Amino acid sequence: MASRKAIVGLAAVAAATLLLTSCTASGSGDGGDSGEVEGDITFLTNRTDLQTDGTWDEYIAEFQKEYPDVNVKVEAITNYEDDVTTRLSTPNGYGDVLLIPNSVTPSQYPDFFEALGDADDLADTYRFLAPKTVDGVQYGIALGGNANGVLYNTEVFADAGVTETPATEEDFLAALEAVKGTGAVPLYTNYKDGWPLGGQWTNIVGAVSGDPDAQTAMAHDEEPWTEGTDIYALDSLLFDAVHEGLTEEDPLTTNWEQSKGDFATGKIGSMVLGSWAISQFQAAAEDAGVSKDVVGFMPFPTNVGGQQYATIAGDYYLGVNKNSSHTAAAKAWLDWLIEESGFTDTQGMISAVKSAALPENLGTLEESGVELVELSPAPAGEESLFSDTADLSQVDVWGNIYRQKLIDIARGEADGDKDSYFAQLNEQWGSAVSELAG
Amino acid sequence: MSVSTTGPDPVGISGPLHGVAVLDEGGRRGADGGPGGRRGPGRSPRRAGRQGRRDGPAGRRVLSRLTPYLFVAAAVGLLLLLTYLPAANMLWYSITDWNGLGPVENVVGLDNYVEVFTNPRILSVFGVSLYYFVGAFIQMALALYFATLLSFSTRFSNFFRGVIFFPYLINGVAIGFVFLYLFQPGGTLDTVLGWFGMTDPPQWLGDADIANYSLAGTSVWRYTGLNFVLFLGAIQSIPNDLYEAAELDGANRWQQFTNIIFPGIRRIIGLSFILAVSGSLSVFEIPFIMTGGANGTATFVIQTLQTAFSYRQVGLASAMAVVLLGIVLVVTWIQRKLFPDEKVDLT
């Protein structure tokens, strides 16, 4: 009898366990999707600031004028990437419309997201489709896009006597040297916060060579850290700048929020960032009582035969939960956000809609004859190859770990030099390439 | 029905008890006027039912025997659910190449473990643990010193006890940020050093030769309080008459320490030692917040985290976690072998 009780007890524990783990999973599934544009949908976003200032509520009110039967609930999440990645494991735990977390690899999109249409058809209307296309099917559309390049303080550069934006690495380093003379930190790396060393740099791959297939080429290259490639140009410039003391003195104590103000007040000369940052830096400038014209944006300092390029790419992509019960309503909200909300205008981002004009803050790029490059889609079956190679080789091109190490070596705090480190990167990357692509 | 509950009838034999029970039954049956007589009394369902009821006391006995297990069940259930189940999962992931999302695709057997032990980049970070290991000894020595000092009646001893224990009460994240400002160039530490004429302080976190000392120092500052309280509690559990006797015999403070206090708290010191070793192998919070593992300060746990979430190799990271668990177990075992748990006899 004792043992029976014990078994009953254990069974109860087991049942409770099952209940705990399954209660979230047993929610409504695909069933009940009427195909009508109606119902309650949840929208997950990382923009908590737009939640606070009521922008989302305004959008919803506008949206409901057109679709009165749809209720949109906005969930703004501070730690978006991590939280949503965790929530992806429960079918209905990640809302109806959401920004696709970067941790999901392209080959997994069909498991999580609703197909939005044929990529070829959508290509007539939208930019930035490539990263979220798998086997010709589109799983996400960019809420907005950015150009990638260098933010610089126009006044600091003018004080240093730099009148033209540098178009070669040598010119850029010389310009930084001149900026150093004014007492400002010429190039701020944001080493401590880390993320500004990841995608902000790697997104530029393609701009150095002007080759829209540069990422795919790198995924097949066993020695990409060799002179002449995009990634070499980027990391080499970073190395040289650090090595010559043109970056902040103690990188371990950098601070992103503080750096915005320091940039505005002329303590920082430049940072490698996407154009998304322009509006934030302009706001910081106005907070500091400086004209917002101090924030300048230039393409990465290289050229191919005199022609400069800047890559443009989608920021977060909107996707629809595959398990949503109100797919039609979710798609309506997604389309409305992208085409009619005016989000990209107010945020100074490039609209995913091809016919829309470039934002004001990038106007100078076009005037100075910079060509915008949008990366072309990876060949079928290789959508995840670039990020898979990065994962396997443990060279986190989208993260900060290997560039932090590069900076440590450049400032003499870790063993090695430029050649030995690039050789090591080639070896790690190369063995991953030969395993995955070879 | 209550006949047999308390058992010992004055008669002292079971016979009458049984008899009473039967009587009782007979009476009831009579009262019911039921058909019980038609069947064998033993097989009658009603009788079975009554038998059950008669078992009541025995059932209660079983229940009372089960009571402790029921109390434990809640705790064990939660432990199984929140510790052992995830741990079993981790063991399972460690033989796959799962990337953290979606279904597990390939079982790779022991490949991950081979990778952990053959890739020099993975194991080399244990070197960083040495800083914390040495730090742990300094920390225990400091804690023992203060605990001994404050166990004697000292003026303001309660105040000092509070001061020493306080850092342990602050959460690790807050400590990370406080020390981040302390170590900044031109920060608090540099300012204070400036008063003493040290005008050219090093970069406490930026200099790779110093960064690990700074972090280990922070760790010592944080955990000394815990060791201190453990030691103090142990010292105070030593009976007072031993000190009195020692004083009567003319022992000085140092002799009291070596002959009474130290042997008296040897067990706690042994425990602290194990905690120090496993702690220094699995340092995480402080370096993660203060440097994110950059500049050569990555510990094994930080590296495991990076493997799982930056490189999305959850399988490999699980194997690393299992290896760390194994190492801690082995170190503990060696420590127990080298310093067996001696019976302490103070008299």
| B225 — pLDDT class (breaks 50, 70, 90) | very high
pLDDT for A221 equals: 94
User: What kind and span of H or E run contains A186?
Assistant: strand A185-187
Structure tokens at B112: 């991950």
Is A125 in contact with A351 (CB distance < 8 Å)?
no
Report which secondary-structure segment, H or E, holds A279: helix A277-287
Query: B56: pLDDT confidence band, cut at 50, 70 and 90?
Result: low
Chain B segment 87-116 residues within 8 A of A by beta carbon are: 99-102
Lowest mean pLDDT across A139-143, A144-148, B10-14, B215-219: B10-14
Residue A399 is nearest to which of B70, B99, B310, comparing CB atoms?
A: B310
Residue with tokens 């033209």: A164
d(CA B283, CA B139): 15
Cα–Cα–Cα angle for A251, A254, A255, rounded to 5 degrees: 165
Helix count and strand count (H, E) for chain A: 19, 14
pLDDT at B209 over 70: yes
Q: Do residues A148 and A374 make contact, with C-beta atoms less than 8 angstroms apart?
A: no
Contact between chains at B66 and A251 (C-beta distance less than 8 A): no
Q: Does the interface predicted TM-score (ipTM) exceed 0.90?
A: no
Inter-chain touch B101–A88, beta carbons under 8 Å = yes
Task: Look at B73 and A103 and tell me if their CB atoms are within 8 Å.
Answer: no
Q: What is the pLDDT of residue A27?
A: 37
pLDDT given at position A5: 52
Name the least confident of A102-111, A352-361, B52-61, B131-140.
B52-61
Reported as half-sphere exposure (CB side, CA atoms, 13 A), residue B216 has a value of 23
- Show residues of chain A in contact with B307, CB under 8 Å: 394
Of B183, B295, B311, which is closest to A408 when you measure between CB atoms?
Answer: B295
> What pLDDT does residue B35 have?
43
Q: What is the pLDDT of residues B289-324, one digit of tens each?
A: 999 888 889 999 999 999 998 888 999 999 999 999
Would the pLDDT of B31 be above 60?
Answer: no
A-chain CB neighbours of B179 within 8 Å are none
For residue A423, the tally of other CB atoms under 10 A from its CB is 15
Determine, for residues A394 and B312 on separate chains, whether the beta-carbon distance falls below 8 Å. no
Across chain A, mean pLDDT equals 87
Quick check: B233 contacting A, CB < 8 Å? Answer: no
A105 to chain B: closest CA residue? B101
Contact B316, B116 (CB under 8 A): yes
Interval B130-170: pLDDT, tens: 999 999 999 999 999 999 888 887 788 889 999 999 999 99
- The DSSP result for B34-76, as a single string, is -GGGGS-TTT-HHHHHHHHHHHHHHHHHHHHHHHHHHHHHHHH
Q: Which two tokens stand for residue B63?
A: 């229940």
**Cβ-based interface (< 8 Å): residues of A facing B:** 1-2, 5-6, 9, 13, 16-17, 20, 85, 88-89, 103-105, 108, 111, 191-192, 194, 249-253, 390-392, 394, 396, 399-401, 404-405, 408, 413-414
Taking the C-alpha atoms of residue B229 and residue B210, their distance in angstroms, rounded to an integer, is 30
Q: Could you give the 3-state DSSP secondary structure of residue B284?
A: coil
Higher pLDDT, B344 or A438: A438
Terminal CA-CA length for chain A: 63
The distance of Cα B32 from the centroid of its chain, to the nearest Å, equals 62
d(CA A134, CA B74) in angstroms, rounded, equals: 48
CA–CA distance, B135 with B92 (Å, rounded to integer): 35
For residue B177, is pLDDT > 60? Answer: yes
With 50 as the cut, is the pLDDT of residue B182 above it? Answer: yes
- Please state, in angstroms and rounded to a whole number, the distance separating the CA atoms of residues A192 and B296: 13
CA-to-CA distance for A241 and A254, rounded, in angstroms?
16
Closest CB from A13, A105, A413 relative to B207? A413
pLDDT tens digit string along A241-288? Answer: 999 999 998 898 888 888 999 999 999 999 999 998 898 899 899 999
Res A33 pLDDT > 80: no
Confidence of residue B57 (pLDDT cuts 50, 70, 90): low
pLDDT digit string (tens) for A165-222?
899 999 999 999 999 999 999 999 999 888 899 889 999 999 999 999 999 999 999 9
Give residue B251's identity as a one-letter amino acid code: A
- For residue A424, pLDDT over 60 is answered with yes
pLDDT above 90: residue B62: no
